[in-house]
Amino acid sequence: MRRLLATFALGLGLAATGAQAQELNIYSSRHYPSDEILFGKFKEETGITVNLIQGKAPELIERIKLEGANSPADIFITTDAANLWRAQDAGLFQPVTSPALEKSVPDQFHEPTGLWYAFATRARVLVYSKEKVKPEELSTYEALATPAWKGRVLSRSSNNEYVQSMTAALVAHWGVEKTEAWAKGLVANFARDPKGGDTDQIKAVAAGDADVAIVNHYYFARLVGSDKKADQDVVAKVALFFPDQQGNGTHVNVSGAGVVKNAPNKDAAIKFLEYLASPHAQAIFAEANNEFPILADVAPSSVVQSFGPFKRDTLPIVELGRNNAAAVQLLDRAGWK
């Protein structure tokens, strides 16, 4: 298991309880520069030192389970509702009561009993070839499964949480039978077997390997904001489209965190969750990683704002977790590799 252990002690001086400095142990499956900024700023504002262990979500969940009551983990932070649900289902979280969180985090974006809270969102969008596709040809996720898109679509593998959560959202809206039929139709329209990450799908569309790809918006935003010529060459050939604007709205997913069941530093952990929902931290999520903040009065990055406004799916994020198992099973039956 590959892990990275780091201590962020970027502030001047430690806030102490008696003679012992306060600290916070975070297990994180996020690997974004924005998070290093967040941890450092949290230290500066509170005097609480952040000890960080990074890894893939399944590895960290298993590690916390194995550590049991002796786990030093205070916070588990991860991308995707599927990972939050798996941690919840494994009994890793404890409920948190916080007026600040209840006020800041919309009901759609937290577990009802306070087991976890989301702090940033991402939209599952379409990136299309400007040479081969007119935007008026695009409409919904469902339409991509029709014969008109035969051999023209790209997606990540079904073992990816982004794919699973989008499918779980469709299960919540449509039911298993219709969603499975959609998945089979989409598989039949793949330009190639799924491989690579979201950026790979975008670059493949730009290279002419397919006409449209399903990706998270911030991967495209990174390319738009890049000063590398190769990235700008890609951006010049593709464009972004928000699907389902006349229906349920574009699917959104989250990054979120919860306080671990046996957290030795529970008070510090709650402070950290409250900090992530603060306007200052929300601006860092937006500017440093091009994610959508969960606070309505915090603006997205200028790059993301350039994509324009869009209608978002208002489905409670907990439904993505509840329907994850059904989504995984139907994706397998549909032959989605």
d(CA 337, CA 325): 16
Residue 110 known to bind ligand: no
* DSSP element (H, E) containing 153: strand 153-154
Residue 31 known to bind ligand: yes
Burial of 271-308, coded b for 16+ CB within 10 Å and e otherwise, reads bbbbbbbbeebbbbbbbbbbbbbbbeebebbebbeebe
Burial label, 200 (beta-carbon count in 10 A; 0-12, 13-18, 19+): middle
Q: How many CB atoms lie within 10 A of CB 310?
A: 17
Tokens of 309: 């406004």
Residue 141 known to bind ligand: no
d(CA 42, CA 103): 20
Rounded (5°) CA angle 135-141-143: 70
- Tokens 């990074």 -> residue: 54
Instruction: Provide φ and ψ at 332, rounded to 5°.
Output: -65, -45
d(CA 35, CA 199): 20
> Which residues does 315 contact at the CB level (< 8 Å), separation at least 6?
108, 169, 172, 173, 248
* DSSP assignment letter at 12: S
Residue numbers in the known binding site for Fe cation are 31, 218-219
Residue numbers in the known binding site are 31, 218-219
